[in-house]
């Protein structure tokens, strides 16, 4: 590990992080709010970036895979740390501030703020904007705007988006990153425009655009989307949560080349099927248990199935008071997540789809042991090492889930709170059940528990391997 090279790159990332702090600073000036909330963190970030850049000058030489993993993992961590300073300056306790910041940059949406509306508009704007940045990826943006990354950029791309394969839209990874960010910005502008037409104020429209297309879920209101009580606003946000949960590379292809890219993709069709089936089952349960009339049952079930499956975490009602059967359906959806290449978290739909195909193959070979049965996805054969990687990912993911749930339970949290808080943070979902329900917050979790959940968000956003590999002895050997 060449630390001078690594620290030089982290210095460049700090310059990028500092640049974004100017935006909420201008918002604070516009609303006549204290500028030191962002002025002081901006100065600190610039100072540290200057030190790193001066003593550890970034070189144009290529980085190896280890350095790429380390830069990405540390890049997200330092973003959470430096972006937590504005919260502290508004009186939020340090652990809660770091929790809120990590939840923002990882696009999780779990909050530890107790009185959201009491904070300044500039901080609430910042809170939402960090989720928009984290939705597509801070490192992805770094790759898109920094020239001459070459193979190093590819290593960072693989570390931040370790899916089944790199969805390359252009031969150069920097061009791919730029295209994905372009699609992201276009969809954001479209949503912002529609929400303004629907009657929302500019502040409400932009903060909810930031946190719906990014599948994040922070709202400047304690009641989340229920604060509007408007079916039209709910419908608009549903559409863009759904789009945020789909593969952005397919969005690009649908817009610019093959109009049928989405509907031909097996993962997208499975994703859509889960939403339809989940909505029908949940609506039936809510209607059968006489919680809502049939129209309201469909209205609330469709919104919350999309919100939880895409790991956005918005709420239009307090689903924490629903019958256990309804809450269990949402709990299962927390594990799945959206599509690979989307802004959502979770295990990802494609992994579940390929595991089902693998299970089908195993059962077939029990009857026909000598048969050669390839697993195919979108008319391509999936290599065995990809399946092994998915199985390994699942094992590590569930081990982390069980470990963090157990530790929370040992701290005095009840069964439902422990399990749902663990998966809500590891899967970057946001709200859970029990004490961390949609109309509550994570302040009820003790500080040591919050640190565990902060680690969960960091690990989950970088899809486990990027962070866990840093804990292996082999990573640190030459």
d(C-alpha 278, C-alpha 23), whole Å: 39
The candidate with the shortest Cα–Cα distance to 332, out of 285, 388, 369, is 285
Is residue 330 one of the residues assigned to a domain?
A: no
Task: Yes or no: say if 431 and 313 are a contact pair by the CB < 8 Å rule.
Answer: yes
Query: How many domains is the chain partitioned into structurally?
Result: 1
Domain residue limits at 424 = 375-476
Is residue 158 one of the residues assigned to a domain?
A: no
Q: Where are the alpha helices (DSSP H) in 168-312?
A: 173-197, 202-212, 231-244, 248-256, 261-264, 266-288, 294-309
Task: Yes or no: say if 156 and 71 are a contact pair by the CB < 8 Å rule.
Answer: yes
The SS3 assignment for 377 reads: strand
pLDDT at 147: 47
Is residue 387 one of the residues assigned to a domain?
A: yes
d(C-alpha 173, C-alpha 344), whole Å: 21
Structure tokens at 278: 């989940």
d(C-alpha 213, C-alpha 201), whole Å: 18
Task: Yes or no: say if 110 and 425 are a contact pair by the CB < 8 Å rule.
Answer: yes
Is residue 431 one of the residues assigned to a domain?
A: yes
Q: Sort residue 346 into left (φ over 0), alpha (ψ -120 to 50) or beta.
A: left
d(C-alpha 217, C-alpha 225), whole Å: 9
Task: Yes or no: say if 436 and 113 are a contact pair by the CB < 8 Å rule.
Answer: no
Is residue 401 one of the residues assigned to a domain?
A: yes
Low-confidence residues of the chain: pLDDT under 50: 145, 147-157, 159-166, 171
d(C-alpha 155, C-alpha 143), whole Å: 10
Task: Yes or no: say if 83 and 17 are a contact pair by the CB < 8 Å rule.
Answer: yes
- Find the helix or strand (DSSP H, E) in which 143 lies: helix 138-145
d(C-alpha 99, C-alpha 92), whole Å: 10
Contacts of 464 (CB under 8 A, 6+ apart): 393, 396, 397, 400
Task: Yes or no: say if 382 and 354 are a contact pair by the CB < 8 Å rule.
Answer: yes
State the Cα angle at 67 between 61 and 69, rounded to 5°: 135
Cα 429 to Cα 61, 227, 307: the distances in Å are 38, 20, 9
Is residue 311 one of the residues assigned to a domain?
A: no
The candidate with the shortest Cα–Cα distance to 334, out of 428, 249, 405, is 428
Give phi and psi for 44, each to the nearest 5: -65, -45
Please give the DSSP secondary-structure letter assigned to residue 228: T
Task: Yes or no: say if 310 and 244 are a contact pair by the CB < 8 Å rule.
Answer: yes
The candidate with the shortest Cα–Cα distance to 90, out of 115, 69, 108, 70, is 115
pLDDT at 61: 57
Q: Which residues are bridge partners to 377 per DSSP?
A: 380
Task: Yes or no: say if 286 and 278 are a contact pair by the CB < 8 Å rule.
Answer: no
Structure tokens at 430: 């946001």
d(C-alpha 323, C-alpha 214), whole Å: 29
Single pTM value for the model = 0.91
Is residue 400 one of the residues assigned to a domain?
A: yes
> Quick one: what percent of the chain has pLDDT higher than 90?
62
pLDDT at 425: 96
Is residue 288 one of the residues assigned to a domain?
A: no
Contacts of 261 (CB under 8 A, 6+ apart): 250, 253, 254
d(C-alpha 465, C-alpha 270), whole Å: 25
d(C-alpha 347, C-alpha 339), whole Å: 9
Compute how many other C-beta atoms are within 10 angstroms of the C-beta atom of residue 298: 18
pLDDT digits (tens, 9 = 90+) for 53-94: 888 765 555 667 777 788 888 888 999 999 999 999 999 999
Task: Yes or no: say if 314 and 241 are a contact pair by the CB < 8 Å rule.
Answer: yes
Q: Sort residue 428 into left (φ over 0), alpha (ψ -120 to 50) or beta.
A: left
């Amino acid at each position: 590990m060449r630390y001078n090279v690594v620290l030089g790159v982290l210095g460049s990332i700090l310059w990028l992080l500092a640049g974004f702090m100017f935006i909420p600073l201008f918002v604070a000036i516009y609303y006549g709010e204290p500028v030191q909330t962002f002025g002081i963190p901006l100065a600190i970030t610039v100072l540290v970036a200057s030190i790193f850049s001066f003593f550890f000058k970034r070189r144009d030489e290529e980085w190896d895979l280890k350095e790429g993993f380390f830069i990405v993992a540390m890049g997200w961590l330092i973003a959470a740390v430096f972006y937590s300073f504005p919260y502290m300056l508004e009186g939020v306790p340090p652990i809660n501030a770091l929790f809120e910041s990590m939840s923002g940059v990882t696009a999780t949406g779990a909050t530890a703020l107790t009185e959201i509306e009491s904070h300044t508009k500039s901080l609430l704007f910042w809170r939402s904007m960090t989720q928009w940045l984290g939705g597509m990826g801070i490192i992805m943006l770094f790759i898109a705007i920094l020239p001459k990354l070459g193979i190093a950029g590819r290593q960072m791309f693989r570390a931040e988006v370790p899916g089944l394969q790199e969805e390359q839209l252009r031969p150069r990874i920097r061009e791919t990153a730029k295209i994905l960010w372009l699609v992201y910005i276009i969809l954001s502008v479209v949503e912002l425009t529609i929400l303004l037409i629907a009657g929302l104020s500019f502040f409400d429209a932009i903060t909810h655009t930031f946190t719906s297309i990014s599948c994040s879920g922070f709202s400047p209101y304690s009641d989340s989307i229920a604060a509007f009580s408007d079916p039209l606003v709910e419908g608009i946000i549903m559409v863009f949560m759904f789009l945020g949960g789909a593969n952005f590379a397919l969005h690009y292809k649908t817009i610019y080349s093959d109009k049928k890219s989405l509907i031909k993709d097996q993962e997208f069709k499975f994703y859509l099927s889960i939403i339809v089936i989940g909505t029908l089952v949940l609506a039936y349960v809510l209607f059968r248990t006489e919680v809502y009339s049939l129209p309201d049952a469909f209205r609330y079930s469709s919104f919350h199935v999309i919100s939880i499956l895409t790991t956005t975490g918005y709420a239009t009602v307090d689903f924490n008071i629903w019958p256990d059967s309804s809450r269990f359906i949402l709990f299962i959806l927390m594990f799945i997540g959206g599509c690979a290449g989307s802004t959502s978290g979770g295990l990802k739909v494609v992994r579940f789809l390929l595991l089902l195909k693998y299970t089908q193959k195993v059962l077939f070979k029990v009857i026909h042991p000598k048969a050669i049965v390839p697993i195919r996805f979108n008319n391509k054969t999936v290599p065995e090492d990809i399946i092994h990687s998915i199985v390994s990912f699942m094992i590590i993911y569930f081990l982390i889930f069980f470990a963090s749930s157990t530790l929370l339970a040992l701290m005095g949290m009840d069964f439902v709170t422990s399990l749902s808080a663990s998966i809500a943070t590891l899967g970057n979902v946001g709200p859970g059940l029990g004490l961390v329900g949609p109309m509550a917050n994570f302040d009820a979790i003790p500080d040591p528990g919050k640190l565990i959940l902060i680690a969960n968000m960091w690990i989950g956003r970088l899809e486990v391997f990027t962070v866990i590999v840093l804990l292996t002895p082999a990573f640190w050997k030459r």
